[in-house]
Amino acid sequence: MAFTTQQQTFINEFVKEINNGDAAIFAGAGFSATHGFVNWKELLRDLAEELNLDIDKEHDLLSIAQYHLNKFTRSKINTKIINEFTSLGAAGENHKILARLNIDTFWTTNYDQLIERTLESEGKTVEKKIRNADFSRNIKKRDAIVYKMHGDKDSPDEAILTKDDFESYNDKMKLFSIALRGELVSKTFLFLGFSFDDPNLEYILGRVKVLLNGNTPTHYCFFKEILENDFNDPELSPEQNKENYLYAKIKQQLKVDNLIRYGIRAIMIDDYPEITSILSEIEKRVKRKNIFISGAANDYSPFTVDTAKDLIHSMSYTIAEKGYKIVSGYGLGIGSIVINGALDYKMNSNYRNLDDLLILRPFPQIQSGKKPISEVWTEYRNDMISKSGIAIFLFGNKLVKDEIVLSNGMEEEFEICLKHNVIPIPIGATGYISKSLWERVMLAFETYYPSNTDLHDAIKELGKDSLTKEEIIMNTIKAINILQKI
């Protein structure tokens, strides 16, 4: 989809925050409602009926829960929470995208377990904070932490729902308030599924604003634009529908303006599926910072051995130097040199963490377990490549029975790249399978690449014979840089 200027600016900024490790997510009821879980109004509908009230006429939902507690007992509220949130729905695409991203901080007011379950399905170690006591212990080497500030469906008696719960929150759940204040100062939040009517959240945002004397960091949320087409009640006259639309439009703009006081900028969308498109674009941009290097070489012709090694080393060094992360499967005659190039940059730049420059996944070489080694390799390749956004292909041959043949493993990696929407950059000048892959992409350029003349020219140059090391690296980096922006 074509993004608005405001949406494009948000995408660019949030990608930077993710890459810097400073992004966080705050999920409200609307984030789960689309996956079969009830919203607050539906959760309280039966309770309102027992009070002889019409939930559709009520706006103060906290009072409904409190009225019910005043007249009856907490047990029915607890049972309602358990029944409504036990049937775990399937995670939606938005949950899956966020779980795949390198975001380690999640806050939610939801009782369901979609966020943590989806993170775990991505192989991540998740720590949950549900009660104050949870702050006294920490999981080592966790990948993500989920703060459930209103409780969890497995402990309904402690869920925050009534006015009593909200009024006593900052005393009974003080550690959550303190932790969230710290996160709001140090991280950039994206609020999803929020109406911003939660009194706890408003109080905490207000405290941050006061403590920082108005110098609040920038956070983001999505607001669906009020559209005139949304107001077409057949029982009302066109004038009345128009009047209701204009009123709702004014009220929404006032709310958007008010959020700026807390440093929250509303990203306007026409419809909710646009959120998925925006998150998908963010994932694409983040993954394109990860460059997969596919290569295998027993024979380095048309280069000499020393020239070829210098090319691979310099390519790896330059990719790291430009701020990209290298993903490599330790291909024959390539992997060790890739490591050396990234390590060389680390040593020369005093870069403290090699893990920020290089993801290395050596292939298992010995058959063990029930799966054939070829099947293990395919799964391994899928896992590595799925974490990347761009793939570079170098050389591509191996020795089989004293004969140099094309690397079928690299060909498989090319096909896996296409399956995961990873953009291939075959260095045709290095020959072998890389040359044939280059010829393939040039024959149907628009199938593999976004439309861009400069990108086309850079890829085309990489297939020319007798290119120097500098020319190959220059055009490769040029193509990578262009792909970060389109």
Pick the catalytic residue from 35, 68, 95, 150: 150
Q: Which two tokens stand for residue 414?
A: 């090319």
d(CA 401, CA 399): 7
> How far are the Cα atoms of 439, 447, 452, 460, 477 from residue 443, in angstroms, in the given order?
6, 9, 16, 11, 22
Contact call for residues 101 and 143 (beta carbons, < 8 A)? no
H/E stretch holding 404: strand 403-406
Residue 68 designated active-site? no
| CA 142, chain centre distance (Å) | 17
Longest dimension (CA), the chain: 87
Choose among 29, 195, 173, 180: nearest CA to 105.
Answer: 180
3-state secondary structure of 222: strand
H/E stretch holding 180: helix 174-186
User: Angle between the 373-386 and 408-419 helix axes, to the nearest 10 degrees?
Assistant: 50
H/E stretch holding 192: strand 188-192
Q: Which residues are catalytic?
A: 150
